[in-house]
């Protein structure tokens, strides 16, 4: 099992560009999450999906959209990237309470 | 909104010394989880505490959940260089909703020989 996978690993965008971060899990988990991690800020929840077909806003959803394509995949889209969105993005999934994280995407917006 | 704070933000110890990080929530928690993130890595689940006053041990790591279920601590006995990383606590957000977590700010541990 690969667990939780994320693509790409690194990305540099110019202000105003758009991109989609991909996440997939092969553990048959119902719930999936997108977090961002900034120095000194811990992990902050962007969006969450309790099950296929449902999504919910987290603590910092502005500037992002998500799609729960199927049970395995949960993507995060930045429509018009801003320098404030420079961060490390983690996807996670869970069946119960323990969250399993992907390796992260390091995004820089210039 | 719910806030989860951790202290200290950073600690540097010599190998063999003990280490403790403290986690405090602004609201009562139904449970608390702890995660470890190695430098350049992703968070990895360590443990979940559910009961008031609960104490759990994993080898050199001891986890406690406060009687009021608003605070928790992680104590590492005789640190090793393999303990290097950032330790996060996390509580359900809002209280009782097990699927969403609010993470603490983390404590970064550096261990030198």
Distance CA B37, CA B47 (A): 13
Splitting chain B (113 residues) into consecutive groups of 10 residues, what average pLDDT does each group show?
Answer: 90 98 94 96 97 98 97 98 97 71 94 95
> So what's the pLDDT on residue A95?
84
Nearest to A97 among B1, B9, B98 (CB): B98
Question: Could you tell me the pLDDT band of residue A40, with boundaries at 50, 70 and 90?
Answer: confident
> So what's the pLDDT on residue B92?
87
Distance CA A60, CA A47 (A): 8
Residue B46's Cα: distance from chain center in Å?
9
Q: Is A98 on the interface with B (CB under 8 A)?
A: yes
Q: Is B85 on the interface with A (CB under 8 A)?
A: no
Query: Could you report the per-residue pLDDT of A58-81, keeping only the tens digit for each?
Result: 999 999 999 998 999 999 999 999
Q: Is A39 on the interface with B (CB under 8 A)?
A: no
Do B33 and A97 make contact, defined as CB atoms within 8 angstroms? yes
- Mean pLDDT highest for which of A15-19, A37-41, A52-56? A15-19
> So what's the pLDDT on residue A43?
95
Query: Could you report the per-residue pLDDT of A1-26, keeping only the tens digit for each?
Result: 789 999 999 999 999 999 999 999 99
> So what's the pLDDT on residue A29?
94
Q: Are B19 and B79 in contact (CB under 8 A)?
A: yes
> So what's the pLDDT on residue B11?
98
Residue A25's Cα: distance from chain center in Å?
12
Distance CA B17, CA A73 (A): 44
Do B106 and A98 make contact, defined as CB atoms within 8 angstroms? no
Residue B20's Cα: distance from chain center in Å?
9
What percent of chain A is modeled with pLDDT above 70? 100
Tokens, residue B109: 């541990």
Do A103 and B42 make contact, defined as CB atoms within 8 angstroms? yes
**Among B35, B39, B42, B104, the residue to mutate for chain A (most A Cβ within 10 A):** B42
Distances (CA, A) of A90 to A28, A38, A75, B23, B92: 18, 11, 11, 22, 18
Give A102's contacts in chain B (Cβ within 8 Å): 42
Residue A91 pLDDT exceeds 90: yes
């Amino acid at each position: 099992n690969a667990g939780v996978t994320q693509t790409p690993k690194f990305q540099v965008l110019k202000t105003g560009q758009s991109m989609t971060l991909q996440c997939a899990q092969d553990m048959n988990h119902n719930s999936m999450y997108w977090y961002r991690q900034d120095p000194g800020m811990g992990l902050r929840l962007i969006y969450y999906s309790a099950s296929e077909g449902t999504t919910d806003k987290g603590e910092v959803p502005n500037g992002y959209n998500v799609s729960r394509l199927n049970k395995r995949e949960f993507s995060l889209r930045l429509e018009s990237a801003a320098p404030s969105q420079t961060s490390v993005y983690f996807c996670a999934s869970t069946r119960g309470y323990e969250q399993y994280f992907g390796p992260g995407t390091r995004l820089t917006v210039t | 909104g719910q806030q989860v704070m951790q202290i200290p933000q950073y600690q540097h110890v010599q190998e063999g010394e003990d280490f403790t990080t403290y986690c405090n929530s602004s609201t009562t928690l139904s449970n608390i989880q702890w995660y470890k993130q190695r430098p350049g890595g992703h968070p990895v689940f360590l443990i979940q505490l559910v009961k008031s006053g609960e104490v759990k041990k994993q080898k050199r790591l001891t986890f406690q959940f406060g009687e009021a279920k608003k605070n928790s601590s992680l104590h590492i006995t005789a640190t090793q260089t393999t303990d290097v990383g950032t330790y996060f606590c996390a509580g359900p957000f809002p209280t009782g909703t097990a699927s969403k977590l609010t993470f603490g700010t983390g404590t970064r541990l550096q261990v030198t020989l």
